[in-house]
Copies of this chain bind each other. A is one copy, B any other.
């Protein structure tokens, strides 16, 4: 794994785990991170139906994308962490089809399609990297289908916590097994298709058996091995290979 530079953006940290960026690439990636916009905690960033003519790169903070059901209930589609690119998959669509809300104070970079096209023009390695990220993203979505379709409350919560943990590790924002956790139990419930009551029960029970520990705004995974086993967890980020993309010289060196 490539060492990360001090002050690097989360997306650059992520990229650095898969390829050695050269100067041009570093600069291009940096251009995505320009002029971040500050967003206050708990504010709506985009509303459903808005034209999907730009995307966001998360610099810092957590966000949720979700849809509202006719009866008012919510389904969280994705939790967005630093380094995430929001709206990539919406490029072929005329408008956003979900709501986007900040959980914490955030710093977001706004991109146009032009920025992405620029990358596609100039650097096949970064293109391959971005597309690979998107494909892995899709994999994590199918993993969630398995969770929502076939798992009980307890396992849903376990799976969610694990997948959050490994994502935070990718951007060096987990200290061992401890990480910031700004979601309410309502948020978590809407992410895994439960109610806050079931989430509360599941978390309490897991804490009681010593699998995890909560303190305000923090989460600690105490028995990661047990939890991985319980849900047959697969870390999709472990084994990404971006060399499938054409024009790529073998790029990864550890």
Contact = CB atoms under 8 A, between A and B. Distances in A.
A202 interface: no
A177 interface: no
B75 A242 contact: no
Residue among A92, A120, A142, A241 with the most chain B CB within 10 A? A92
A251 interface: no
A245 B114 CA distance: 9
A88 B149 CA distance: 23
A64 to B, nearest CB: 13
Interface in A95-148: 97-98, 113, 116-117, 120-121, 131-132, 134-139, 141-142, 144-146, 148
A45 interface: no
A134 B138 CA distance: 9
Given A92-B240, A134-B138, A144-B145, 18 more contacts: A69-B146, A69-B150, A69-B232, A75-B149, A77-B146, A91-B132, A92-B132, A92-B136, A93-B135, A93-B240, A94-B239, A97-B139, A117-B246, A120-B245, A120-B246, A134-B135, A138-B141, A149-B190
9 closest A-B pairs by beta carbon, nearest first, are A149-B193, A117-B246, A148-B148, A92-B132, A91-B244, A89-B135, A75-B149, A75-B146, A141-B141
